[in-house]
Structure 1
Amino acid sequence: MAEELQDGQPHYVGHRERLRERFRTRGPDSLADYELLELILFRSMPRRDTKPVAKALIDKFGTFAEVFSAKPERLMEVPGVGESVAFDIKVLQAAALRMSLGDARQRPVLSAWSAVINYCRAAMAFDDQEQFRILFLDKKNRLIADEVQQRGTVDHTPVYPREVIKRALQLGASGLILVHNHPSGDPTPSRADIDMTRFIVDAGAKLGLVVHDHIIVGRDGHASFRGLGLL
């Protein structure tokens, strides 16, 4: 049974209000990661003390970002996290990702590069499996579509250049930004990454498709093929 105060309320009620007040008056920077996570869990767990659950999530996954990037089944390995809590966490992740790409949707992607990088890192950097994503751009470099083309293992994703080009033509795209993640954390391009990119660049050039960049994201940062002189 939860510890109670003299007025009969559970002990965490006062703690919740103190956290809310600190957020209101001092802003989110005044809260530790687990405390911000507590606030988020208040609505998902209205009758439970969220502090131990929030701390357990941070302890298990390492960072705030990794909690939200974790798969639902892994979230539910934490005591107190059921299907509805895991669902709420993934909904909030989806909302955050949509917001992070909002700037790039409103103007040419190449002029909102920092927003693109932030989005790619938020979407993929902490995934425990490789995925290959493509941002399809029109003639004015505005975003047409953002699609995950393939998902793979912890260290490999099969990429089929013919399918990449085919999808670009279906969408009427003029430009591409290739993105994939390295679950190892190190975003350094491999020889296979370089060869695959070159194949797509060459195939696309014959059809008027421009590959603007290939971005690799990982826990330790990101690498840009164009920035490295590989494009």
Structure 2
Amino acid sequence: MTSRTEKHVATGNDKDKAGHRARLRKRFLRKDTEALLDHEIIEYLLALAIPRRDTKPLAKALLAHFGSLAGILTADAQALLRFDGLGETSVAALKISQVAALRLLREPVMQKPIIGSWQSLLDYLHGDMAHLTIERVRILFLNSRNILISDENFGDGSVNETAIYTRQVIHRALELGAVSLILVHNHPSGDPSPSKQDIAITRDIAEAGRRLNITVHDHIIIGRTGHLSFKAKGLI
């Protein structure tokens, strides 16, 4: 069902809007997409969900509020629903675009040894976590060929609040038959610098893993503008 905010009121500009959308559509079909502005991408996505409304002003308002194309697509669905002019149909259109993008990024991570496709892993993690407004801790469990067995969320909040216990992590690795793992979490502040707590937890898990022949390859912190690798920084 279309929400009240998504209903269209007919105006004399309908033909102009239809012509504008047709031109956008042709640019997509011709693969003439490099020159598309971010608001045009959002505008066209919204036009698919709200076909009889001028969605350019709404697209520009969303960019102003969420800061970027990535900020819109990764925004929480409830935050989008609270935005004036959006309803369930249009929010679903935006979120399915995020899902599709993440599936594309995730595919090489799932099919190849992670250690040999490190940049693909970083691209996937950045796409999934860089714009989260909460801190999320996840663990990637790997088999003897460094292929992903399971990608699991170990809690939302802060590292302190989520209480990532060494025993739980190692126990789960043993349950899955994993021989190695990668710790990952994001910093909503955007700064991927590790805290003392980040470093202490990582070293505790790495030490416990060594006793049971489970290797902690790395701990990656994702920020909006980049990432930090504990291994690269000599912290693990």
Q: Same fold (TM over 0.5)?
A: yes
Check conservation: 2:209, 2:215, Cα contact below 8 A.
yes
Check conservation: 2:154, 2:162, Cα contact below 8 A.
no
How high is the sequence identity, in percent, across the aligned residues?
A: 46
What number of residue pairs does the alignment pair up? 228
Aligned to 1:111, the other structure's residue is in SS state: helix
Check conservation: 1:177, 1:213, Cα contact below 8 A.
yes
Check conservation: 2:137, 2:159, Cα contact below 8 A.
no
Counterpart residue type for residue 215 of structure 1: I
Deviations 1:172-219 (A, max 9, x none): 111111100000000011111000000010111111111111000111
Aligned to 2:34, the other structure's residue is in SS state: helix
Aligned to 2:30, the other structure's residue is in SS state: helix
- The aligned counterpart of 2:197 is 192
- The aligned counterpart of 1:37 is 42
- Alpha-carbon RMSD across the aligned residues, in angstroms, is 1.7
- The aligned counterpart of 1:3 is 11
Trace 1:94-173 onto structure 2 (pairs within 5 A).
94-153=99-158, 157-173=162-178
Which protein, 1 or 2, shows the higher relative CO under an 8 Å CA cutoff with sep ≥ 6? 2
Counterpart residue type for residue 66 of structure 2: F
CA distance in 1, matches of 2:55, 2:67: 18
Aligned to 2:21, the other structure's residue is in SS state: helix
CA distance in 1, matches of 2:159, 2:77: 18
Aligned to 2:151, the other structure's residue is in SS state: strand
Trace 1:180-219 onto structure 2 (pairs within 5 A).
180-219=185-224
Aligned to 1:149, the other structure's residue is in SS state: strand
CA distance in 1, matches of 2:83, 2:17: 20
- The aligned counterpart of 2:229 is 224
Check conservation: 1:56, 1:78, Cα contact below 8 A.
no
Deviations 1:115-164 (A, max 9, x none): 10011111111101000011111100001111111101599543222111
CA distance in 2, matches of 1:26, 1:142: 34
Deviates more, 1:61-70 or 1:149-158: 149-158
CA distance in 2, matches of 1:168, 1:122: 25
CA distance in 1, matches of 2:95, 2:19: 28
Aligned to 1:114, the other structure's residue is in SS state: helix
- Where does structure 1 lack aligned partners over 5 or more consecutive residues? none
CA distance in 2, matches of 1:57, 1:68: 10
CA distance in 2, matches of 1:217, 1:103: 19
- Where does structure 2 lack aligned partners over 5 or more consecutive residues? 1-8
Aligned to 2:82, the other structure's residue is in SS state: coil
Which residue of 9, 18, 21 maps to 1:13? 18
Taking structure 2 as the reference length, what is the TM-score of the superposition?
Answer: 0.91
- The aligned counterpart of 1:50 is 55
Taking structure 1 as the reference length, what is the TM-score of the superposition?
Answer: 0.93
- The aligned counterpart of 1:76 is 81
Report the alpha carbon displacement of residue 17 of structure 1 after superposing the two structures with TM. 0.8
Check conservation: 2:109, 2:121, Cα contact below 8 A.
yes
CA distance in 2, matches of 1:155, 1:36: 38
CA distance in 2, matches of 1:101, 1:19: 28
